[in-house]
């Protein structure tokens, strides 16, 4: 009897829990059908990557993407589409010419990409290559006058390329999804620890130029098969000097140059780097668009979705983070195409300056919701239910990180259930994930979430590399992601209550908020 009673009460609890989080299964099917029959993923992806090109913040490619997103959102019938300033970013930069070749001991082309915001060379410069032990002022002083008129490389940490037997791409196994470890979280303390190294590198490069070096070549340990990882550069900020012409080159080329120098062969390179800086408008912009809410009592409340529109410059930012923009744009298009009349307002925001420190989303949060440094929240902060972000490449959605918000766990489980057949059910982890734009919202206590995505070849091949191009997008995965995001946004917009929140965080300066590099 007791046992039966407890079974009955358990059944009651389960049905109550499910009944509490009702999912409109008919609408979930309509979302799936709209994507299956009328997907615009390919068109969006092509325009954001192939047509606009690299989207370094405040570069012509970034502005192209801002304009295109505004235009397409307006065409789809979204409201209030357009740029929104978030504060001062700094200079734009665009590479116009970037070639490097070996001249001695024989001619060969080198796979090389200029580091953003570096200076141009004076036409093509042909000069000897020398190798320093470290990128520090002691090594520069040791080289003394021999640095003058030379291109410099730094002795690599290792002397091999990555193991070719290791697969590049992977998907998560189902069983790992509920217990993913914390990922990409950076604390302010860790950032304070990194800062001296970043500053040291910046000032060392300025010092190197002062001592007469005409160029610098570098390479990454994880680069293979012509993949070049190229990011960094601080010359975008007003008042900060650009570094000397700097190129990242393929690992295979770099190790060859090292061996030739170690064998006392004379190595000569020809470097031609020509860049344009854009300093007329230093303002940073995001782009936003909305489907206005229709419920008189709830339309002032908002659910947001997005990703960062800016990229690095070695590729066309297809997976970082064209993918997040493509999937969230498609998600809002689906909802608009279905003619839904959301109770709450649905707003997409695609951010700028993410790669330099989540500037666009943080600036937006500060302007609309409040500053984590003092936790003086603005009235709008009480009216935003959630922000959903996508920024881990083009892999399909396998679940979601709740950022430690226990109260949303069962809600999200119910919302993922209809997408079990598409690989999305199950993965609801309490663990945190960081280093992208939902962190700006989380910092002021607004529910901000990042989906769990299959890693594919994001970390190994495309992230910040010259291979971050359209052909490395998985179109089918993006279609799935757009469907799941559309469902989450729809459910958040229609729910009777806003999503439950964690307790407000303590006032603390934002993790990436530094007066860099001084
Ligand atoms: Zn990113």
How far, in Å, from the CA of 113 to the mean position of ligand 1?
A: 19
How far, in Å, from the CA of 281 to the mean position of ligand 1?
A: 24
How far, in Å, from the CA of 75 to the mean position of ligand 1?
A: 27
How far, in Å, from the CA of 13 to the mean position of ligand 1?
A: 41
Return the HEC string of 95-115: EEEEEEEEEECCCEEECEEEC
How far, in Å, from the CA of 43 to the mean position of ligand 1?
A: 21
pLDDT, position 191: 86
How far, in Å, from the CA of 437 to the mean position of ligand 1?
A: 9
How far, in Å, from the CA of 141 to the mean position of ligand 1?
A: 37
Question: What's the chain's average pLDDT?
Answer: 93
How far, in Å, from the CA of 208 to the mean position of ligand 1?
A: 31
How far, in Å, from the CA of 269 to the mean position of ligand 1?
A: 33
CA–CA separation, 120 and 111 (whole Å): 18
How far, in Å, from the CA of 168 to the mean position of ligand 1?
A: 19
How far, in Å, from the CA of 267 to the mean position of ligand 1?
A: 37
pLDDT, position 188: 86
pLDDT, position 399: 95
How far, in Å, from the CA of 44 to the mean position of ligand 1?
A: 18
The DSSP symbol for 144 reads G
pLDDT, position 456: 97
DSSP string, 324-352: HHHHHHHHHHHHHHTT---SSEEEEEEES
pLDDT, position 189: 87
How far, in Å, from the CA of 214 to the mean position of ligand 1?
A: 32
CA–CA separation, 485 and 491 (whole Å): 10
CA–CA separation, 335 and 54 (whole Å): 29
How far, in Å, from the CA of 204 to the mean position of ligand 1?
A: 27
How far, in Å, from the CA of 356 to the mean position of ligand 1?
A: 10
CA–CA separation, 454 and 356 (whole Å): 25
How far, in Å, from the CA of 363 to the mean position of ligand 1?
A: 17
* Per-residue pLDDT tens listing for the chain (518 residues): 344 334 444 444 343 344 479 999 999 999 999 999 999 999 999 999 999 999 999 999 999 999 999 999 999 999 999 999 999 999 999 999 999 999 999 999 999 999 999 999 999 999 999 999 999 999 999 999 999 999 999 999 999 998 889 899 999 988 888 778 888 888 888 888 888 888 899 999 999 999 999 999 999 988 889 999 999 878 899 888 999 999 999 999 999 999 999 999 999 999 999 999 999 999 999 999 999 999 999 999 999 999 999 999 999 999 999 999 999 999 999 999 999 999 999 999 999 999 999 999 999 999 999 999 999 999 999 999 999 999 999 999 999 999 999 999 999 999 999 999 999 977 898 888 888 999 999 999 999 999 999 999 999 999 999 999 999 999 999 999 999 999 999 999 999 999 999 999 999 999 988 876 65
DSSP string, 378-411: -GGGGGEEEEEE--S-SPPEEEEE-TT-GGGHHH
In terms of Cα–Cα distance, which of 195, 190, 202 is closest to 232?
202
How far, in Å, from the CA of 510 to the mean position of ligand 1?
A: 18
The predicted model scores a pTM of: 0.94
How far, in Å, from the CA of 78 to the mean position of ligand 1?
A: 25
How far, in Å, from the CA of 185 to the mean position of ligand 1?
A: 14
How far, in Å, from the CA of 48 to the mean position of ligand 1?
A: 15
How far, in Å, from the CA of 309 to the mean position of ligand 1?
A: 9
pLDDT, position 517: 63
Two structure tokens written together for 237: 């900020």
How far, in Å, from the CA of 101 to the mean position of ligand 1?
A: 31
How far, in Å, from the CA of 291 to the mean position of ligand 1?
A: 25
How far, in Å, from the CA of 436 to the mean position of ligand 1?
A: 7
In terms of Cα–Cα distance, which of 467, 480, 489, 322 is closest to 391?
322
Q: Facing residues of 270 across strands?
A: 101, 126
Two structure tokens written together for 470: 């359209």
How far, in Å, from the CA of 392 to the mean position of ligand 1?
A: 7
The bridge status of strand 125-132 relative to strand 268-278 is antiparallel
pLDDT, position 4: 38
Report how far Cα 489 is from the mean position of its chain's Cα atoms. 20
How far, in Å, from the CA of 428 to the mean position of ligand 1?
A: 22
How far, in Å, from the CA of 321 to the mean position of ligand 1?
A: 5
How far, in Å, from the CA of 248 to the mean position of ligand 1?
A: 20
Tens of pLDDT, residues 427-477: 898 888 888 999 999 999 999 999 999 999 999 999 999 999 999 999 999
């Amino acid at each position: 009897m007791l046992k039966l009673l407890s079974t009955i009460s358990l059944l009651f609890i389960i049905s109550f829990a499910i009944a509490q989080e009702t999912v409109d299964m008919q609408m979930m099917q309509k979302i799936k059908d709209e994507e299956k029959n009328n997907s615009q993923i390919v068109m969006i992806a092509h325009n954001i990557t192939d047509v606009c090109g690299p989207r370094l913040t405040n570069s012509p490619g970034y502005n192209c993407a801002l304009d295109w997103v505004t235009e397409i959102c307006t065409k789809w019938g979204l409201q209030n589409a357009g740029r929104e300033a978030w504060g001062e970013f700094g200079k734009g930069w665009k590479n116009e010419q970037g070639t490097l070749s070996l001249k001695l001991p024989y001619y060969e082309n080198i796979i090389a990409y200029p580091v953003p915001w570096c200076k141009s060379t004076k036409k093509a410069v042909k000069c000897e290559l020398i190798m320093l032990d470290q990128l520090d002022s002691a090594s520069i002083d040791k080289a003394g006058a021999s640095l003058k008129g030379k291109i410099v490389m730094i002795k690599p940490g290792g002397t091999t390329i990555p193991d070719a037997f290791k697969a590049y791409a992977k998907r998560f196994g189902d069983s790992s999804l509920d217990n993913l470890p914390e990922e990409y979280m950076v604390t302010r303390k860790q950032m304070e620890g990194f800062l001296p190294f970043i500053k040291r590198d910046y000032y060392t490069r300025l010092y190197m130029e002062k001592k007469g070096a005409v160029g610098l070549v570098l390479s990454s340990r994880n680069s293979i098969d012509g993949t070049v990882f190229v990011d960094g550069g601080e010359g975008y900020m007003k008042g900060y000097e650009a570094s000397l012409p700097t190129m990242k080159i393929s690992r295979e080329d770099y190790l060859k140059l090292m061996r030739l120098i170690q064998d006392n062969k004379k190595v000569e390179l020809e470097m031609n780097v020509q860049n344009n800086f854009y300093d007329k408008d230093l303002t940073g912009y995001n782009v936003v668009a909305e489907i206005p809410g229709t419920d008189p009592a709830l339309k002032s409340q908002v659910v947001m979705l997005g990703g960062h529109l800016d990229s690095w410059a070695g590729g066309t930012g297809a997976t970082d983070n064209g993918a997040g923009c493509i999937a969230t744009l498609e998600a809002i298009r689906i909802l608009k195409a279905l003619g839904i009349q959301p109770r709450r307002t649905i707003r997409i925001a695609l951010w700028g300056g993410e790669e330099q420190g989540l500037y666009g989303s943080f600036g937006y949060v500060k302007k609309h919701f409040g500053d984590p440094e003092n936790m003086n929240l603005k009235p709008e902060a009480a009216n935003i239910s959630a922000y959903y972000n996508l920024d881990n490449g083009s892999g399909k959605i396998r679940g979601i990180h709740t950022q430690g918000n226990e109260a949303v766990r069962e809600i999200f489980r119910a919302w993922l259930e209809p997408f079990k057949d598409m690989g999305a059910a199950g993965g609801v982890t309490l663990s945190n994930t960081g280093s992208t734009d939902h962190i700006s919202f989380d910092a002021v206590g607004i529910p901000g979430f990042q989906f769990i995505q299959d890693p594919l070849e994001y970390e190994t091949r495309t992230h910040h590399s010259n291979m971050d191009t359209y052909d490395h997008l998985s179109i089918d995965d993006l279609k799935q992601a757009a469907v799941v995001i559309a469902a989450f946004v729809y459910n958040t917009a229609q729910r009777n209550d806003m999503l439950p929140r964690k307790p407000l965080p303590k006032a603390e300066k934002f993790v990436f908020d530094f007066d860099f590099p001084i």
